Amino acid sequence: MSSPVLLLPLVSVPPRTVNGSVGLPTELLNDTFRLLFDSSEHDSWFRMRAASQVCRYWRDIVLHTPYLWQDLHLRDATPLPAMHTQLVRAGSIPLNVAIDFPNIPDSHILTLAPELHRARSLHMISSDADPINWDHTYSTPLLQDLHVVFSEDVPYNAFGRSFPIIPLVSTNQPLRLLKHLTAHGVAYSSVSAFFRPTLRSLSIVFTRVIMSPTSHTTLASFLQALQGMPVLEELSVTGMIYPEAFVFIAAAFPAAFLPMVTLPSLRRIFLHCHGRAMVDFLHHLIVPARAFINRDLSPTFIAGGFPASSGLHPEQAIFPDAFAAVASKLAGDNVIQTESDVLPVTDELCIRAHDVQIVDIRASKGSIPFFSYQHRDVDVRDQDQDLLVYAAHLVCECIPAAPLLAGVRTLSLQSVHQPSPGACRHLFRTFPSLERLELDNCQGTFEELASAIDDGNDVALPFPHLQALSVTRIAFDQSTQFVAYLQFRRDAGHPLRTLKIRSCQNLVQEDVEVFQAHVGEVDWDEDRSR
């Protein structure tokens, strides 16, 4: 990256001597500059370059407005004179400091050190997993945001190694203004030293290596720490393990009582934990309903999926317990609900299986997702049972039937890569109000659905209120049986209104015409079907 060019102060040009927009009042220009800047760029030099080249008047305002120089980004290519100049132009206002370790020169740190007392935010990033070689720490009474992200690429044979600690900032200070703490790849003992009751957001990513006790902590200890954060609004934890399960570090973590923790102000939560840690974490956490409402498609809770060399594979079989813990929250267990803050009623449920032993389960309300869970490294013990069927069976067993599943109107089953040859008959009696069913690459479930009728007995009719059926990547090997199913529904007074067929095999126009005799509307992509 090119070095910034120093902007030398010029004599101020009065606004009245300039025509056009360059004569705008200083206050309005300040607001204009604020709108133009990229808030994600922590470097005032690069943010100022365009505005300072418009005219001398704009340049003069840029050079003499301290808040425009409060964002200081130290890289190995940052000239020391530029750093001095920026600190002078920032005056005495609070600073937002970003430091790229580990190649930053010591001279830059020594220049910055006397100014850390006015640091409002401090972002430190390092691509090196080794500890930062800087022993001195400094007082930061104005600090509100501490963001430390160090490399997690630590050798797996790192038993007894020293993990990075948070540099520069003294732990022997009250930090009464600290609101946001982010720590990735840092020794837990160093992170916990900055826990404060004023925290509003906490994000921790533990190293993937569990060979050293200094890199992790027990869930009991972490829960006790959370008890001291009554105003916490956002919580993100990645890599929490269950150290008692691993003999080589278990001695460093004696068993302890797990306290119940209430976080009354929590608004967002993200957990990616070792399976057993996920179970206990959720069972001992009491939070408002709004914390579980996630409008994104990304999972809110992830269990498992750690590298094989981390030693966590013995916990593959924890999927049933982990999902049951998550499902209990969906049912309202230890969830704070008020008139204005309640869990949405699930009316759409999606179960998706991947070919690398990954299962996604997502709940939605009115097509808006509000809850998503993912389990990685699922251990399917029964070799005759595929991953999707296994997950569907757990959904039927773990989620209480009332009121959750009874309210589901749309069910989507997807086997993303591998065809799903099996079927879960529990699905047919678990969703009594189902109106729409989507099957993607689910050959077994499709065939089971088509054959699950007997002699016109209405009780045996799967999903009696079903109105729409969508099938994708299905082979119509037994189209006659499927026609009988459609006719049975029609004769029983429950005909399908729509049948959507996408990328299916063994289907011709004559088959579709027969389907149309028993269904209100058939939507078939003939060009993609064979």
Contact 289, 337 (CB under 8 A): yes
Amino acid 345: pLDDT: 81
**b/e map 25-56, b = 16+ CB within 10 Å:** eeeebeeebeeebeeeebbbbbbbeebbeeee
Amino acid 367: pLDDT: 77
Kindly state the tokens that stand for 244: 């008692």
* Cα–Cα distances in angstroms (integers) from residue 202 to residues 5, 53, 229, 231, 280, in the given order: 37, 40, 10, 11, 19
Kindly state the tokens that stand for 355: 């070919």
Beta strands in 119-219 (DSSP E): 119-126, 137-138, 145-150, 168-169, 180-184, 201-205
Contact 199, 181 (CB under 8 A): yes
Sequential pLDDT tens for the chain (530 residues): 444 444 433 334 454 444 445 566 767 777 777 666 655 455 566 667 766 777 777 777 778 888 888 889 888 878 888 889 889 988 899 999 999 887 888 889 999 999 999 999 999 998 765 556 678 899 999 999 999 998 765 544 444 455 678 999 999 999 999 999 999 988 888 899 999 999 999 999 886 655 455 567 888 889 999 999 999 999 999 988 776 555 444 444 555 678 999 999 999 999 998 888 888 899 999 999 999 887 777 888 998 876 654 454 445 568 888 888 888 888 888 999 998 888 888 889 999 998 778 899 988 888 777 888 998 878 765 545 688 998 898 888 876 554 567 788 999 999 998 888 888 888 888 888 899 999 999 999 999 999 887 544 444 688 989 999 999 999 998 788 899 999 999 998 999 999 999 999 999 999 999 999 999 999 999 766 55
**Could you tell me how many residues make up the chain?**
530
Measured distance CA(501)–CA(515) in Å, rounded: 11
Amino acid 6: pLDDT: 41
Q: Which of 70, 54, 52 is nearest to 9 (CA)?
A: 52
Measured distance CA(380)–CA(422) in Å, rounded: 13
Measured distance CA(216)–CA(245) in Å, rounded: 13
Indicate the SS3 state at residue 237: strand
Which residues are 360's β-sheet partners?
Answer: 352, 374
Strand 410-415 and strand 436-440: the pairing is parallel
Kindly state the tokens that stand for 526: 């003939």
Measured distance CA(179)–CA(201) in Å, rounded: 7
Contact 328, 282 (CB under 8 A): yes
Contact 10, 62 (CB under 8 A): no
Q: How many Cβ atoms from other residues are within 10 Å of residue 105's Cβ?
A: 12
Strand 468-472 and strand 137-138: the pairing is unpaired
Q: In what order do the strands lie in the sheet with 285-288?
A: 261-262, 285-288, 335-336
Amino acid 294: pLDDT: 77
Amino acid 485: pLDDT: 92
